Structure 1
Amino acid sequence: MENLLLLCFSLIVSLTSGADTISAHQSLTGNQTIISKVWSTNITTIDLNSVTAVLLDDGNLVLRDILSKPDERIWQSFDHPAHTWLPGAKLAYDNRTKKSQRITSWRSNEDPGVGLFSMELVPSTKEYVSKWNGSQQYWTSGPWNGQIFSFIPEMRLNNIDYIYDFSFFSNKNESYFTYSVYNSSIIPGFAIDVSGQVQQLTKQLNLFWVQPRRRCEVYALCGAFGTCRLTLLPFCNCLTGFKPKSENDWNQSDFSSGCVRKTDLECEDNKESSGFLMVEVASSPPNYVSVAVGDVGECRTNCLNNCRCNAYSFTDNQCSVWEVELLNLSEDNVNGKTIYIKVASKDLPPRFHEKNKLGEVVGSIAGVVFVLGLIMLIIYRKKWLWVGKTRMDGSLVAFVYRDLQRATKNFSEKLGGGGFGSVFKGVLRDSSVVAVKKLESVSQGEKQFRSEVSTIGTIQHVNLVRLRGFCGEGKRKLLVYDYMPNGSLDFHLFHRKQDNVLSWKTRYQIAIGTARGLVYLHEKCRDCIIHCDIKPENILLDVDFCPKVADFGLAKLVSRDFSRVLTTMRGTRGYLAPEWLSGVPVTAKADVFSYGMLLFELVCGKRNSEQSHEGSSFTFFPSLAVNLVMGGGDILSLLDSRLNREASVEEVTKVFKVANWCIQDEEKSRPSMSQVERILEGVVDVNMPPIPQSVKIFVDSTVNVPFFNVTSSIFNESTSTRSSQVQS
């Protein structure tokens, strides 16, 4: 094991006051040498020359008295965890002292001092909790049920139950969990980051899992009056009118000190010198008090006249006042919660100044008139829009519901379905055949409807499915697409009884065409469009088997001014990039990962993970491909058996290499889709890729592993409903 410890400090045995201690010392050289102790085991022995310190391969630093008790450990680092919990170590609760062992975050990435975030065991429920400042709980693993922690379904999703073997022990002295690893070459561990998140790391420090998934869910991450926003870097920023309390700490990504007002408020002149900053937040800050007032004006006046009041809100006729510093201000996923924070008037933006009351009144009246006029316009426009047959709205047709009902024979010929609705075959009055997606979920359908119409309606490409039109009568939301007579790619790959098998030439052209469609989405649209759900079900085939990337209901538009986008986890298990699990903003490289997983299935004609007929084991196809590509084996043995080895060895090898590059763990290691396109077209060559860590787990171990250990693996997709046309 590489000795990563003790890079900055030297370990020496100190003879101090007749006792041996092992200590870390810092030495400074110059005109004189200064040695200062920064850490000690605080363990003493009688014999001054019998103590040895050994750093074991598992990362445990052990102190032994080799003369009197050579087989006993008089001290070990596993009993004193810092910010990492390694295999074999305990994270225990002392039943005698009623105290917990904790792993505690560093203060910052540069300062290994004790931070504010920790994780410890609650023995009564057999669960681990993360706390801020040792008191405020903000995350829990959920109780242990003997196999997994109830709030961590990712234990199976991430193969944690395959990698780890967790055990719980309890006696009169202590209660604790410990865990071991099946594959010692992986050396995974859990650490609590400076962000307050508990992370699962591998030996190569690759991130497999993190909780809470979003940084902004960590309690008081940005300190007082600091706002958290994952779409910005850094994640923490001070509110308008505030500044970091400690610039030095913030420069080291330690935001715990929070922010302070740029201008202190004078209590005597509070009313004249103060104003309010309106902020929309994801949830109300904690520790507010309710005040009995009649309306929002009285609520505002109450706070303005209260020297201790920092903010107020008025919701549902309830006045809430904060007389404490505001914590947990997150501007992500805002849901209409508005608070008004007291700030010196001179530090407010011009639009927040309240000097011209008459202007405010006039502006309010004008706003009401404008809104009423807009409502009348919408009502008039909708009435005109939906009366009659159809009309053109730019390049899209606005259909009347009854016409689509007639075209689909009352939605009788179903082509497929998914989480957002079902797809039906229809014939329009001009005899053209279409596929009509009927969005059935009201809450999700609205979001799906807006996303698809705004996304697909503005783009046209030979490798993207074309949206013909839409219907939006009340709660009835429908989308009308070009009909693809050859259905979706998954039908041709995974339905083994069909007569017509896709030739290798056709499959290779599907790979290139799909890549071209994604290049257009990522690089050639006005806004970068991240599809978020690339899989065989969403690749449609026209009459000539030309691929069309479909189902943009999960797509996310990203302005060219931003390289990342924050979005809720979406997509399909088995095709999700690792960054989806870490909760960080994703890039177009998430689509690249999904495309790579699709390439493996395009070659073998089966799902990437497959259960044996006996149900006792499963095979992870990318690991087989890696073994053969790296070892120079029979590449065509991995080809879909229905092709009878009729394929170009060079092209199959190239596809495997591209697929392995696409599923690299780190985003920066994956190619762009334009690079993938050039490689498949033969414009540029491709080198041998490194083995992704997620694949290496299976390569380093036996290829066939107990299936029950990976039933919900990220590599095991088990969708119950398949679509032969368009699937949500």
Structure 2
Amino acid sequence: MTFQPLLTRGSSGPWFSCGFYCNYTTNECLFALLIFPNSTMTKNSKVVWSANRNNPVSFNATLDLAENGNLALKHANGSLVWTTNTRGKSVVGLNLTEMGNLVLFDRENAVVWQSFDHPTDSLLPGQVLVAGQKLISNKSSTDWGEGLYALFLSNTKLVASMESDPPQHYYESNNEFAIPTDKTGRAYIRFEHGSFGGYNLSLAVKAQFMSLEADGHVRLYEWRRSDWEKASDLLSLFVGDCVYPMVCGNYGICSDEGQCSCPDQEDKTRTRYFKQKFERQPDLGCSLIRPISCEFHQFHSLVELKDISYSSFSMSTSVGETSLDYCKNTCLKTCSCKAVVFQKSLWNSSTGNCYLLPEVLSFTDSRTANMTIAYVKFQNPPKMETKSAAIALGTSLGALFGVYLIIRNILFIIWEKNESKKVEKDRYFHQLPGTPTRFSYEYLRAVTENFSRKLGEGGFGTVFEGTLHNGTKIAVKRLDKLEPVEKTFLAEVETIGNIHHVNLVRLIGFCIENSYRLLVYEYMSNGSLNKWIFSEHQVVCLRWQLRRKIILDIAKGLAYLHEGCRQKIFHLDIKPQNILLDENFNAKLSDFGLSKLIDKDQSKVVTAIKGTPGYMAPEWLGSFITEKVDVYSFGVMVLEILCGRRNLDRSQPEEDDMHLLSLFKRRADEKRLLDMVDKQSEDMQLHGAEVVELMKVAVWCLQSDFKKRPSMSVVIQALEGVVNIEHNLDYNLTDQQVPRRTIAAMEDNQDVAGEVTLLMPSVLSGPRS
């Protein structure tokens, strides 16, 4: 390590240290801030902040405060792990304050960056939690990565939530105390000795900190005698122990005493349905003795759970007020439904509110909950006839049905040849682990108002706006023709069905029913990027900093696809139309219909030509491609964003100016790249020099030799100012595109180039930090 630890003593007694905190068993280290009672008891230190909890480094990592003011943590190979993003902000020093706040300051001693603004799972006395910040728990006491639970401020309420999809709130402050706002109107809550907002806390003699833990509890710890001891459990004072969504694991039941158990219901044959996952750890939940499989949905039944209540409804699908029988039948017909909760109406005992649960969290033991009924889905074994009955049946009916069976089998073989592919695909989606929610066609038609609110359309289908019954807005892509888009549909669900990243559009679900193929995505209120940079009548021009952020978002999404998953993913169709923007203009990659899953140990792959002319790398004409084809497409798109025009613009008065890349080369030769900056935006013109510098990143990505292009992780580092842009760049960017006639020839015969990489069901990792 090149960084020497910082050490300071707090005014109230505790000591703080900032440096590398390592697990010598796994050779993993955090750049972290620790609290301990005094200078002689460092072994009792506790981590209260860390920079790289999701991406630990090895012993030979480095931390550097560069001359440009940026504090950066790097792996031994120089790749960036974490940065303060303070490049160019006149940082002159680093300080660890007596409150335990790590601060970068400028020449006037003003704070440029501080760890208090970026909390992880803990708060220190004097620290403020502000709206927009989150405490996120660790995965476990031994795993530093981000876990299930979050604590944050929302609408002047303190909220505790399980970070599921959608989030499951299990605590919201109401009348316990009022949360103030600062001069800018942002809500905040301060942790001080003796209080946290309206919570009254004990006064620590030596040291104290607050932590959101892996079980969702917010606990106050203080040093007493010879160890850290729990002084209070803040949320449990108001909500009890059983409200935590996973307090007893999946299917577990929490008693009033906080004890966990499995449901003990038996049917008339005294058959049991549940078992503990681990006998000695009942809080880890229960599992079905007869696990369900959608492949055998005809054998599904429901078992009633008596004397329980359930509160984790944020993740459920509400069917609305209906009868109990309809509620149960809806669950049995819905593949994603694992259980159903029925809340009886106060006015009509035969109706009530019906909730379908795609995941079963913890129940609560409640002997008075006679208004709530829960049913859990399980699988019956296929019924088998006894041997004697089978013999009797065969003897009596064999002759009668013999001829019929022969004819039926012949017809079945003919039918099977035509239907086997469709059945296999349908069965595949039932079996694929972690697949998004499967919706019925009728349900999607209802939530889109009979596909009446069109958002847009493309080569493969039309996109409609819709609203799920729980109020979530969605975008539904209806693929218009089955055969040409079947492979696209499979690639889309396989590729993004199991991955999650802030810069990838989330696939909520899909529909595969008869000839219908529909994909359900999160709704992106600001639509696609192309309408913000290409529209001739654009009222609002994107400012420079926002364009830079969008470019960085796209780079992070691509880097995750290329490097952050267990299998590489080549997107193969990067263009502004496939970049969507949410309400805060966060950019997310979409449309994975042409994507390809690649084994990690493969550096090249042969595949049929795919993509959009104008964005395709020159190596498409050769035998192999790498992930650098996405890097090339990214480079074209960056130039479009910075120049505010399409790479092919037939509206240009001069024919030589129609092609962006050839025009860009001419301006580079003339040293007039400032002329390429978007002229429709005064802000872009004002930051012209910075824009031109970023254009060099695009040129680096557009090198004709793919080996000279940077990886997307290096692109991110270049955008963040951590690495220098390659100087010896080739600006000859013209005459490198795949000819349009070649694309047309390949579309006539998709197998010409040979598909040597088999698309297999992917098992993908979660997002990296």
TM-score between the two structures when normalised by the length of structure 1: 0.42
Q: TM-score, with normalisation over the residues of structure 2?
A: 0.40
* Higher RCO structure (Cα 8 Å, ≥6 apart): 1
